[in-house]
Structure 1
Amino acid sequence: MKTSLKEWILAAEFAAIIAVLSQFTIPLGLIPLTGQTLAVGLTATLLGKRTGTYAILIYLLLGLIGLPVFAGMSSGLGVLFGATGGYLIGFIFNGLITGAILEWKSFNYAWAIIANIVGAMVTLVFGTVWLKFSADMSWQTAFSSGFVLFILPGILKAVAAGYLGIFIRNRIPSLVLQK
């Protein structure tokens, strides 16, 4: 299946939206709340599996080539392959799984929230496994510092992304790609 110009334009626009929302951080002690994961879930909810994943890939490529699009205006190989790079890689699978669940089931509020929670947990799993090996941590330390601390913020952002995604999708039909 060919990718339409509209899909590429939407993917590029949403890569920019992810980049902008990634710069919003609410410091809460050890657990900073960033707009990055919210933006990834919102992108997958609005654009679906394929175009949403393209947007996430474009976002990661922008950061990889040195544009300061990651949280905290960071970028480069060091960030992507550093201790927290697993979360960034996990975004790809978050987009794939969140979009796939919605396309398989239904683009409604309940499924969007469920899909986003599953996607958020996938991101946390990738980040935790990566953290364990890149920082040479024990599984228990990686799990407690890379997963447990982020469960509640992840669920809150997943619920927000699911709700906002369907809310926007219902009001801006031009975002919905015809298959």
Structure 2
Amino acid sequence: MFGATGGYLLGFIMQGILYSLMIPKFGISKIAKFVAILIGNMCIYIFGTIWFVSVYSTPESSVTFFVALSWCVLPYVIPDIVKTVLAFILCERVQKVIKI
């Protein structure tokens, strides 16, 4: 939790909290769910990147926020969007078969 990826774990928890707060407020439409998931992913990126910068910045060398973005976020944005879309489609189809 205290290593370089600890912020992403914290962001994941915050994503769940944020999603659970947004859905009752904005409804359970497909668009609302999808937007809530994307905003939650941004939450993960923000927490994780800030944490990464704080772990790897030392008095001798500093990792800037933009360098951390290029290392920790940019390579994963497109794959994360693809996975989000696929998970969203899968969940929609499963919910039609299994009533929760």
TM-score normalised by the chain length of structure 2: 0.80
- Structure 1 regions of 5+ residues with no counterpart? 1-79, 175-179
Task: Please give the per-residue CA displacement for 1:90-128, whole angstroms capped at 9, x wherever unaligned.
Answer: 111111112322222222322222111111111111111
SS in 2 for 1:82: coil
Which of 45, 51, 70 pairs up with 1:144? 70
- Mapping 1:1-179, distance limit 5 Å: 80-136=1-57, 137-174=63-100
SS in 1 for 2:15: helix
Shift in alpha-carbon separation, 1:113–1:95, aligned structure 2, 3 A: same
Q: Distance in 1 between matches of 2:82 and 2:14?
A: 19
**Residue of structure 1 equivalent to 2:60:** none
| Runs of at least 4 residues off by over 4 Å | none
- Residue 100 of structure 1 aligns with an amino acid whose one-letter code is L
Aligned length: 95
What stretches of structure 2 of length at least 5 have no aligned partner?
58-62
- Cα distance, 1:172 vs. partner? 2.0
Decide whether aligned partners of structure 1 residues 167 and 112 sit closer, same or farther in structure 2, where only a CA change above 3 A counts: farther
Structure 1 residues 170 and 101, CA, compared in 2 at 3 Å: closer, same or farther? farther
Q: Percent identity?
A: 29
Relative to structure 1, the CA distance from residue 149 to residue 132 in structure 2 (aligned partners, 3 Å threshold; closer, same or farther) is: same
DSSP-derived class of the 2:73 partner: helix
Seen in structure 2, the aligned counterparts of structure 1 residues 91 and 167 have a Cα distance that, compared at 3 Å, is same
Aligned position for 1:44? none
More helix by share: 2
Shift of 1:162: 2.6
Which secondary structure state, in structure 1, belongs to the residue aligned with residue 33 of structure 2?
helix
**d(CA) in 2 for partners of 1:128 and 1:144?**
10
